[in-house]
Amino acid sequence: MRVTSELLWRAAVIAALVDIPLLVLAGRVVPPPRFRTLQWPLATAAFILYALLWGVFGSSLYWEEVYRALFPGWARWLLPAWFGSLYAAFALVAWRVARRARRWPAVWFIVMGGLVSVPGHAIGMARGLMEVPMLSRASAAAALVFGVFEFVFYWSLITLAAAAAAWSSRLHTGSPEPPGPSR
């Protein structure tokens, strides 16, 4: 399979159309008081999702076609833990910033998660990401734009999973629920 710029631009539009309802949902079901309680559930969900993504795609499915050109062979099976930890740390930083927002902190958190794809992918591009045969027909611009929408999707899942886990935990322990959205 060869990825082209046209494919990435189309995928970016589709991803944006998926992201918009997820952002609206996150903004509705994770109001500011609830968001402020999600520090560790967000970090945990980010670790799990990125470790899973890198384990399946980076270390397994696309290692030969893409990632072996970017990383030394000894790092192959360390990538899931490394990227899981890196994005868990980013989740803690983004949570600290987003919790200061008066409105829609979950949405701001997700948007920051989308934007963190730019430096990450740019580093990959500097290391030769766009030179591997699978990606050589795609432009850097198309890859970066798609990456933002791809990561918005991931960070939406992280946010909604963290909120669901926290809600489930409170339900089972009988802890009071932070105030929800005002009606």
Domain boundaries, the chain: 5-20+40-166
pLDDT digits (tens, 9 = 90+) for 122-167: 999 999 999 999 999 999 999 999 999 999 999 999 999 999 998 8
pLDDT at 9 over 60: yes
Kindly list the distances between the CA atom of residue 92 and the CA atoms of 82, 102, 160, in Å, as whole numbers in the listed order: 16, 18, 16
Residue 168 has a pLDDT of 82
Residue 171's Cβ-count burial label (10 Å; 0-12, 13-18, 19+) is exposed
Q: Could you say which DSSP state residue 89 is in?
A: H
Q: What tokens were used for 139?
A: 């432009």
Give the number of other CB atoms < 10 A from CB of residue 1. Answer: 5
Distance of CA 35 to the CA centre of its chain: 17
pLDDT band at 183 (very low <50, low <70, confident <90, very high): very low
Residue count of the chain, please give it.
Answer: 183
Residue 177 has a pLDDT of 62
Question: pTM of this prediction?
Answer: 0.92
Q: Long-range contacts: 35-39, Cβ < 8 Å, 24+?
A: 35/95, 35/98, 35/99, 35/105, 35/106, 35/109, 36/99, 36/105, 36/178, 37/166, 37/178, 38/95, 38/159, 38/162, 38/163, 38/166, 39/92, 39/95
User: Is 70 within 8 Å of 131 (Cβ atoms)?
Assistant: no
